[in-house]
A and B are shown apart, each in its own frame.
Chain A
Amino acid sequence: MRFVESPRMLAAACVAGLGLALSMAATAQQIDYDSARPAALRKCDEPLHRGRVEDARACLRPLLRDAAPVIRAEAAWALGDLRNANEFFREAAAAEPRATRPRVRWGRMYLDASQHADAAKLFQEALNIDKGDRGARLAMARLMAEQFDGDVMDQVALLQSEDPGQVETHLVAARVSIERGELDAAVRSAQRALTLAEQQKLPPVEAQTLLAAIEVVRNRDPGQWTRAVLAYNPRYGTLFERLAHFEVIRRRYKEADVWLKRAVAVQPDLWSAQRELGLNMMRLGQMTEARAPLVAAYEGDPFNTTTVNTLRLLDSLAQFEIIDTPAPALKLMLNKSESGPLRPYVEKLAQESMALFSKRYGYTPEGPVGVEIYPNHDDFAVRIAGLPGIGLLGVTFGDLVAMDSPSGRKSGDFHWGSTLWHEMAHVYTLGATRHRVPRWLSEGLSVFEEWTTGPTPGVSIGPNVIDTFAAGKFLPIAKLDDGFMRPSYEGQVQMAYMQAGLMCLFADQRWGFAKLAQFLRAFNDDAMTTATAVRTAFGVSEEQFDREFTEFMKLRFQAYLTDPKRWANQMQRAHTMLEARNFPAARDAAQATVMMLPEFTSEGSAYEVLAAAEEGLNNTAGAIAALTAWRKAGGWDPAGLRKLGALLLAAKRDADAAEVLAAVNYADPLTVDGHDQLGALLLAQRKGPEALREYQVLLALQPLDTAAANYGLARAYRLTGDAAEARRRLLEALDTAPNYRPAQKLLLEMTGDRTP
């Protein structure tokens, strides 16, 4: 997965709208463990929790006429009538402006409907009334846990100390512990929750579900617990939906598919499970099959934003072209409006990555690898999360990669080639470990591959990464997953990516790539932990690894770490001097800045200033050297590459220019300008197939100057030995521009070829 913008976007993406989005349908209502639960409701708990639907309904319906709006609200909610429940809760809150419970329960209803922002507002409202309210604090903790938003364990521990008998605090603790991989702690919390539930005659199913989940995460049979849950409530589909959740967050989509099918089998009207089944089928590339459960989810819950968005996306797939390639097999899904110009580059790069990663990781996917590219970012976001507004560039679901198209973003905003390379690395690291690789390692290897083997080789990182390291905010290797799963400060997810990449870089340099690959493969063992894998593959303890990594960082970034302020000052001076056209001073400051942190290649880098200063001093060779160094360090901005290409052409270094201009295609392939020039350079180098690709792409981009494009294509076909197609293209060029002299000359040459 590749991020852009803030990791908090993930949380924001979970906001599905306002109250009106609440559906009329049943959701998986969380069990209310609150001892203050009104007695009127308790009498219906037994049939409700046991899955005796008709008995529960018969018990609940009379409560819809209860005098207390909060009772009516709870009854309507339990009956699946969320719209009325919403109105009743509103009434209850208005009637008791200083009461916390109606607001907490109201928020819980939003939480169940995955409308997290609305839930948070209501919990906060309750906390504003009484900041110590345990119900509100617990609800907020549960919300944070569901959103993977920061560390909630301190809050949970506090709640446990205040009320050791509260079942739900132990459930939240168990859930968070599972997600952190702290399974022994998770067992203790879930067991405690189970004991308390039994003692308080509350339903044990949530605790048992978590115990089943722990077995699943330990790759063991959860049968003991699933049988117990179903014995208590045979219609408790949430059990399997939850097991699927823990498979999905570990990216084990095939396994999740099995659980989700069981969820809808035991509880067909569990619309959230129907929806998740459809979404998961899409993760598995089963786009056609996904429609049925999504339609079922829609029919039961027509107002769910994720379901509606996803069905709309499925409807729009007619605008895409499916392309099956020869081995290494790809199944490309490209929008018809851009498949012509994009396909050659996507196919080439993806296949190069497959050939390389197969060797490096000793794994070959069984079937074709799917690559879906979305020109509309919101379509991509819906594809991966059901909702627009996700700050991601690409996502890998096993053998399927989905990502943004370069057309969906401003030129220079992202390097689609690196994104594809990154995601393709995931295909192999996931596949090589049967999806058992820890998140941090899969991301770290993808970043490492970007830096070392991708289309923009170079360890490109900014000073903020080094500053974070210097501030002691890098995580120990055994805890690095927390940086991805539960960021505790703004920007930590991006830092976790960089740290993971740097750790892989360190391991590669310290022990060699063979050991790094061995480290990855160690996770094929179901019981493997990061600490054990470090010992097995590298022969050191995790503490030793962390110590050596720290030394590696200090050494590599010594020049910057010695005086970060000087770097910032020199950078500022370089820009100021350039603006003042004091080129010698700008050059000196830029050189000093580059020396201190050559890894910084982003917009405004010292390399750019250096190149501009050298140009200002009429030193073309110096400008070329600066931009070449920038590129070698990982710089890829299309404007910078085009500038370098132009300088190389001016210096009559055509072969170098062609290589640089070809690299532009992996950043900005859909701009008409440049393909003609590159095609001509490739023709001059007698690289027929490459030139053919450029002119084919140019024509696919529907240029105004079709005569020139067809003429180039004719020459490329002729170079590749296809005289018939060369003639067709040439005559097409002359049909548009009869007096086009270069084409006329080629025509005479070619007709001369045919004349004995």
Chain B
Amino acid sequence: MEVFDLIGAGFAGAFQPFNFAVLVIGLLVGVVAGALPGISFVNAMAMALPFTYLMAPTQAMAFLGGIYAGGVFGGSISSILINIPGTPASLPACWEGYPLTRKGQSRRALAIAITASATGGLVSAILLTFAAPPFAQFALRFDQPEFFAATVLGLLSVIAIAKDRPVISMLSLFIGMLIGTIGVDPMYGLPRFGFGVSEMQSGINFTVVMIGLFAIGEVVDLIAAKPDLSVRREGGGGRGLSAGDLWRIKGSIGRGTGIGCMIGMIPGAGATVGAVIAYGVEKQASGRGRDFGTGIEQGLAAPEAAKNATTGAALIPLLTLGIPGSAATAIMLAAMMLHGVSPGPLLFTGSVETVYTIFASMLLANLLMIVAAALVSRGFSTLMRTPPAILGAFIIVLSIVGAYGVRNNFFDVWVCLAFGALGYVMKRTGFPSAPLVLGVILGPLAERYFLTSLANYDNDYTIFVQRPISATILGLAALFVLWSLWPLLRALIGRQGKSRKGYT
């Protein structure tokens, strides 16, 4: 009963006029940013960060949560209407949504996408509300070795998810972790990798790295690509979605939601992985796998539900352990830290009202998303008339102000610009940037937990495998790495076997 009282208090907080207003604004900003090709909701969240300085912590989280929930869906609008995914997670919407548009059923495709996304997001927010508190209770047993193990799991799962190129992903992750070591070390206060530049002592802020990589790199790519953004609406958009139609795709939405909730909790996975896995599973489960790619409604519904189902689930490790699993949740972590709020198990005992207001805001965001998405979808043609050059110019200005605003330090602007150039190169060469970002975020956390564990346990390096919870989490991390490297190892073993056979 106490839980429901807390949820009630959370809703009362979320319905406060200013809180509600920032949530709605966040949602609209998120849907618009997600819908604009080349501008992801992560860019929008990064650029929105300076605006949160004016807000209370719960308002800041509601604002960013709104952008997050709205932005994850927003990418599907451009996927369905112009065959350009607004975000990588919306790629399956291109495969099944755009063929529906070409058949003259854009309205129906958008209705399926909005309904499935809202359902996935809502279930995920409910999961967050009811699963996070007991998980936080469990996490109270964690000491430094357990936090270190959980951070390592987060770091290594990034590699496991990039199964096709594990070595390159590992390299990107380790480079990110190395960038995270720049500045004063957490135990002895000695500056590292200073290169004689005094500003380097304060380290490289991960928000600045993210803004550079994701916002500036993307905009520069957008100006050179000049994509065709004209909207086709053959056949007037077709009929909408009836309750009967919805009932027919309930299985797809259910499967997608389940997959999204599970994937969302894994640090490093996120909406893209959730959507692609859900699409693959639906191809097998729907019985219409051969027709996929021609505008199959189940193939649209499942990944749409999955990608929004990752949003609430991704907040579980962030709020309970203080470990962000994605760029979006990392920005939310940055916002919390800027407001002096430290996420982790103690947040659930010290600031219960804040936590439940965040939960209520996420629940509301996914409900209101239906209205916001429908509005933006209608105005999408007008939105697409804005030249990409104008959008890009403002994004760069907002990015630079955002980078400066993190610490009111101009050195951060130069760091952001350097990472912008690097982000562009990485995008063009296909070098993964997500592991690098997670390395910059989680690397310093891992080092701090590692060193404090050793300091607290007499410099005993075996402490991480002596403690049962820590050992289990590290075992899981080892399994993740083996799983990711298995195709590579199998190929090597197979090649050796073949060459031996050739000799005999």
Instruction: Please say whether chains A and B are actual partners in one complex.
Output: no
Interface residues of B (CB under 8 A from A): none
Interface residues of A (CB under 8 A from B): none
